């Protein structure tokens, strides 16, 4: 991408309504634009980050046999009424609107009901199971208070996976596969070493749910972890009774803030029963489908990663999610010409700062945008037949011969 050809522009100062670090930096660097509290537009760079995160999740889920769909945002109240969740008393974050013809609609805050309802069309026998279906979908939640940049929005992008099984054993088995997939996803996103599977309050059918909590100063959750992080509890379940159950002592735990970046949950029959999702078993007896659900906040992940790795100069993206691998700057006549040539060979992976501004401004923007490598080709470096490479994360500078530059991509 050529900077000259894009409409985005960096800002020296963050808008005063962006106090959160992630929102301020993502806005200044031109990744996002705020429409209103908790509602953001994703600009070319931000969209690339979102797509990179999605692709990592997609690859890992597909690898364990999941199928991707895209369900509707507009919700027919009927399936929700069967579970009681269309009620504003039951679910207080609905956005609702009216049909021109008079009926009422909801904007999906999650998708258990429509997913179950849809699959009633396709699941009728044990031969149809198991099934693992997921999507990346925009969710709407009428939060009392949106805050923290893109980390708590009224409209946000979420990956939601639902699994369907003939038995609890099969659900348990798949649940473990998702745990493994989640571990790989967090690793690939660059936050594996600071993201923990956490015990949180459960629902009707299971004692605990599991959240994935990423350590973050400004995270909204409080968690407690022991020395080797083998046991991590959300504050909501951190009590003497639970500690006794796990044979743990309170004094071995440390308190810290974290952001919930994912969760996995055994639903059992919570939604399949009221919605009548059944199958015929091998003896031709009707059985209710066992279910699990597994969420991951895509736009929140972008905010968490932005927030976590930034320094006083700007964003620092892990290579796996960075919108581009190289921020390319050409200086001087010959340097600019050679930069053009290199750009033209790998245009899809390079952000080329071809603007007619002084180098200092380009350097500052490269740091603000957090692109992993800044490559400078100038008449000076060309005298040695090399380009200068600065790694954003470490600040380390090195010289690389021009024909080896593509190794960075």
180 vs 191: CA distance, rounded Å: 15
Q: Which stretch binds RNA (CB under 7 A): 54-62, 177-185, 197-205, 247-255?
A: 197-205
In this structure, what token pair is assigned to residue 40?
């953001």
Given a contact cutoff of 8 angstroms between Cβ atoms, the answer to whether 392 and 401 are in contact is no
328 vs 348: CA distance, rounded Å: 12
Interface characters, 26-55, with RNA (x: CB under 7 A): ----------xxx-----------------
Q: Which is nearer to RNA, 52 or 221 (CB)?
A: 221
20 contacts RNA (rule: CB under 7 A): yes
User: Can you tell me whether residue 346 is helix, strand or coil?
Assistant: coil
Q: Which is nearer to RNA, 88 or 361 (CB)?
A: 361
* Nearest approach, Cβ of residue 309 and RNA (Å): 17
State which of positions 286-315 bind RNA (CB under 7 A). 293, 295, 313
* Nearest approach, Cβ of residue 284 and RNA (Å): 31
Q: Which is nearer to RNA, 188 or 367 (CB)?
A: 367
Torsion, Cα of 356, 360, 363, 364 (10° steps): -110
Peptide bond before residue 130 is cis, with ω within 30 degrees of 0: yes
231 vs 223: CA distance, rounded Å: 10
* Nearest approach, Cβ of residue 42 and RNA (Å): 17
Contacts of 312 (CB under 8 A, 6+ apart): none
Q: Are strands 39-42 and 32-36 parallel, antiparallel or unpaired?
A: antiparallel
* Nearest approach, Cβ of residue 387 and RNA (Å): 8
At residue 380, what are phi and psi to the nearest 5 degrees? -65, -50
* Of the residues 120, 147, 177, 346, which one makes contact with RNA according to CB under 7 A: 147
* Nearest approach, Cβ of residue 218 and RNA (Å): 8
* Of the residues 26, 123, 146, 259, which one makes contact with RNA according to CB under 7 A: 146
* Of the residues 115, 178, 191, 390, which one makes contact with RNA according to CB under 7 A: 390
Tokens 């952000």 -> residue:
351
* Of the residues 191, 267, 277, 350, which one makes contact with RNA according to CB under 7 A: 267
113 contacts RNA (rule: CB under 7 A): no
326 vs 168: CA distance, rounded Å: 48
| Positive or negative: CA dihedral 69, 72, 73, 77 | negative
* Of the residues 203, 230, 244, 255, which one makes contact with RNA according to CB under 7 A: 203
Given a contact cutoff of 8 angstroms between Cβ atoms, the answer to whether 408 and 375 are in contact is yes
Binding site for RNA (CB under 7 A): 9-20, 36-38, 92, 110, 143-148, 152, 202-204, 209, 220, 263, 265, 267, 270, 293, 295, 313, 331-332, 335, 358-361, 363-365, 367-368, 376, 378, 380-381, 388, 390
């Amino acid at each position: 991408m050529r900077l000259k050809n894009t409409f985005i522009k960096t800002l020296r100062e963050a808008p005063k309504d962006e106090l959160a670090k992630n929102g301020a930096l993502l806005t200044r660097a031109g990744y996002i634009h705020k429409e209103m509290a908790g509602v953001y537009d994703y600009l070319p760079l931000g969209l690339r980050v979102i797509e990179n995160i999605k692709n990592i999740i997609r690859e890992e889920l597909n690898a364990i046999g999941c199928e991707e769909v895209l369900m509707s945002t507009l919700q027919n109240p009927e399936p929700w009424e069967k579970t009681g969740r269309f009620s504003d008393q039951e679910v207080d974050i609905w956005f609702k609107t009216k049909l021109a013809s008079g009926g009422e609609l909801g904007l999906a805050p999650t998708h258990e009901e429509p997913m179950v309802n849809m699959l009633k069309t396709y699941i009728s026998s044990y031969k149809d199971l198991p099934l693992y279906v997921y999507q990346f979908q925009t969710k709407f939640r009428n939060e009392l208070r949106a805050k923290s940049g893109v980390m708590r929005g009224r409209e946000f992008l979420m990956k939601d996976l639902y699994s369907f099984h003939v038995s609890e054993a099969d659900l348990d088995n798949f649940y473990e596969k998702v745990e493994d997939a989640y571990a790989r996803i967090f690793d690939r996103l660059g936050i594996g070493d600071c993201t923990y599977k956490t015990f949180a309050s459960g629902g009707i059918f299971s004692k605990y749910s599991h959240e994935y909590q990423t350590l973050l100063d400004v995270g909204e959750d409080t968690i407690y972890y022991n020395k080797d992080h083998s046991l991590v509890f959300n504050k909501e379940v951190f009590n003497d009774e639970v500690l006794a159950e796990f044979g743990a002592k309170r004094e071995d735990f440390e308190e810290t803030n974290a952001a919930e970046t994912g969760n996995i949950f055994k639903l059992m029959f919570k939604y399949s029963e009221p919605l009548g999702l059944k199958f015929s078993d091998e003896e031709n007896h009707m059985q209710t489908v066992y279910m699990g659900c597994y969420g991951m906040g895509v736009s929140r992940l972008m905010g968490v990663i932005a927030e976590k790795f930034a320094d006083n100069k700007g964003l620092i993206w892990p290579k796996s999610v960075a919108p581009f691998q190289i921020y390319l700057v050409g200086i001087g006549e010959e340097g600019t010409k050679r930069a053009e040539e290199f750009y033209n060979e790998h245009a899809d992976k390079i952000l080329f700062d071809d603007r007619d501004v002084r180098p200092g401004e380009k350097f500052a923007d490269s740091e603000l945008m957090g692109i992993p490598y800044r490559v400078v080709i100038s008449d000076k470096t060309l005298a040695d037949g090399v380009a200068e490479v600065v790694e954003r994360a470490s600040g380390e500078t090195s010289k690389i011969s021009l024909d080896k530059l593509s190794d960075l991509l």
